[in-house]
């Protein structure tokens, strides 16, 4: 029997002056950074929560990779995403589709979009056609709109295959 499951994820981080803002494992700014325990990659963090939610019975990103654990201080979020990929595979899940909405004012993501898509799909081992990224602004509304923060919403659709359907 094949089961289709879905999950949603969300993340937000305050923007600060720094030496690198990571989005989808790609450095998109040299002068900004996300205030976070890890590298603060909101896209990857929201994807992780969406994937964990779709699996069901899994902890969220904060429980799995706690921000009070020194092992995760400054860690590249792509490393965490790879760990979640292994968790998916170990539980017989396959990613069918990922859809993300990144909300921020600056920097503009369009110059980096292809590289972000390529990086995420390479980490997860999925076709680029199974990952969609949209960038939006908040039209100067709230902290995100004022450029004080950035946020991301993600949806994951995965398939659980029973042992009897593997390879079909």
Distance of CA 58 to the CA centre of its chain: 16
**Is 149 contained in some domain?**
yes
More confident site: 14 or 66: 14
Structure tokens at 56: 């069901």
Q: What is the pLDDT of residues 155-166, one digit of tens each?
A: 999 999 876 544
- Mean per-residue pLDDT for 53-64? 92
For 131, the enclosing helix (H) or strand (E) is: strand 131-136
Helix (H, G, I), strand (E, B) or coil at 90: helix
pTM value? 0.92
Distance, CA of 67 to CA of 56 (rounded, Å): 22
**Is 166 contained in some domain?**
no
Distance, CA of 152 to CA of 77 (rounded, Å): 14
**Is 90 contained in some domain?**
yes
What CATH number does the domain containing 142 carry?
A: 3.30.1330.50
- Mean per-residue pLDDT for 111-137? 98
Percent of the chain surpassing pLDDT 90: 77
Distance, CA of 99 to CA of 66 (rounded, Å): 25
Phi, psi of 74 (to 5 degrees): 70, 5
Helix (H, G, I), strand (E, B) or coil at 136: strand
- Mean per-residue pLDDT for 135-163? 93
Q: What is the pLDDT of residues 17-45, one digit of tens each?
A: 988 999 999 999 999 989 988 889 999 99
Domain count, the chain: 1
Domain that holds residue 42: 2-161
Asked whether the beta carbons of 70 and 31 are under 8 A apart, the reply is: no
Asked whether the beta carbons of 131 and 119 are under 8 A apart, the reply is: no
- Count Cβ neighbours within 10 Å for each residue of 104-114 and write b for 16 or more, e otherwise: bbebebeebbe
**Is 104 contained in some domain?**
yes
Asked whether the beta carbons of 143 and 13 are under 8 A apart, the reply is: no
**Is 49 contained in some domain?**
yes
**Is 167 contained in some domain?**
no
**Is 168 contained in some domain?**
no
């Amino acid at each position: 029997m094949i089961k289709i499951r879905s999950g949603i994820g969300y993340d937000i981080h305050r923007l600060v002056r720094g030496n690198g803002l990571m989005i989808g494992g790609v450095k998109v700014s040299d002068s900004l950074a996300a205030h976070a325990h890890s590298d603060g990659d909101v896209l990857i963090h929201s994807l992780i929560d969406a994937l964990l939610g779709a699996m069901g019975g899994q902890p969220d990103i904060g429980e799995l990779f706690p921000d009070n654990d020194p092992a995760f201080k400054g860690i590249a979020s792509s490393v965490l995403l790879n760990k979640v990929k292994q968790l998916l595979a170990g539980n017989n899940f396959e990613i069918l589709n990922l859809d993300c909405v990144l909300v921020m004012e600056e920097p503009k993501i369009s110059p980096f979009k292809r590289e972000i898509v390529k990086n995420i799909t390479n980490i997860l081992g999925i076709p680029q056609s199974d990952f969609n990224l949209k960038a939006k602004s908040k039209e100067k509304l709230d902290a995100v709109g004022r450029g004080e923060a950035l946020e991301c919403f993600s949806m994951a659709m995965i398939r659980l295959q029973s042992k009897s359907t593997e390879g079909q």
